[in-house]
Amino acid sequence: MGEKNEIISNERIKPSSPTPNHLHNFKLSFLDQLAPSFYVPILLFYSASDVRTFATDLTALSEKLKTSLSKLLTLYYPFCGRLRGNSTIDCNDQGVIFIHSKLPIPLSNILKNPKPHNLHQLLPCAPYNLQPQQRDTLGIMAVQLSQFKCGGIALGVCFSHKIIDASTAASFLSAWAATSRGHGNSSFAPPPMEETSLLFPPRNVFVDMTSGMFGHANTVTKRFIFSGSNISRLRQNIGCPSFNPSRVEAVTALLWKSSLEAAKEGSDSGEENVAASSVCHIVNIRSRMVPALSKDSIGNIWQYAVSSLVEVEGGVGLRDLAERVRETIRKVDGDYIRKLQSDVEFVEVVKGLEEARTMAAEKGHRFCAFTSWVGFGFYEVDFGWGKPTYATTIGMPIKNLGVLISTKDGEGIEAWLTLTTREMAQLEHNAQLLDFASLDS
Active-site annotation, residues: 161, 382
Residue 185's nearest CA partner among 94, 74, 296, 91 is: 74
**β-strand partners of 401:** 369, 418
Residues β-bridged to residue 438: 225
Residue 360 · residue 367 · CB < 8 Å:
yes
Q: What are residue 188's phi and psi, to 5 degrees?
A: -140, 155
DSSP element (H, E) containing 182: none
DSSP line for 354-388: HHHHHHHTSTTEEEEEEEE-TTS-GGG--SSS---
Q: Pick the closest to residue 29 from 216, 173, 182, 164 (CA basis).
A: 164
- Looking only at the bridges linking them, the beta strands covering 82-84 and 219-226 are unpaired
How far apart, in whole angstroms, are the C-alpha atoms of residue 98 and residue 102? 14
Expressed in angstroms, the distance from the first to the final Cα of the chain is: 14
Interhelix angle for 247-268 vs 228-238, to 10°?
Answer: 80
Contact call for residues 231 and 393 (beta carbons, < 8 A): no
* Strand pairing class (365-372; 401-406): parallel
CA-nearest of 427, 405, 407, 431 to 418 is 427
C-alpha 158/C-alpha 132 separation (Å) is 15
Looking at the DSSP assignment, which residues form a beta bridge with residue 151? none
Give the separation between CA 257 and CA 361, rounded to whole angstroms: 19
Q: Any residues with CB less than 8 A from the CB of 255 and at least 6 apart, and which?
A: 224, 368, 370, 402, 415, 417, 433
Gap between the Cα atoms of 99 and 90, Å rounded: 23
Counting beta carbons within 10 angstroms of the beta carbon of residue 225, is it exposed (0 to 12), middle (13 to 18) or buried (19 or more)? middle
Residue 11 three-state SS: strand
Give the full edge-to-edge strand order of the sheet including 141-147: 6-13, 96-102, 141-147, 153-160, 39-46, 390-392
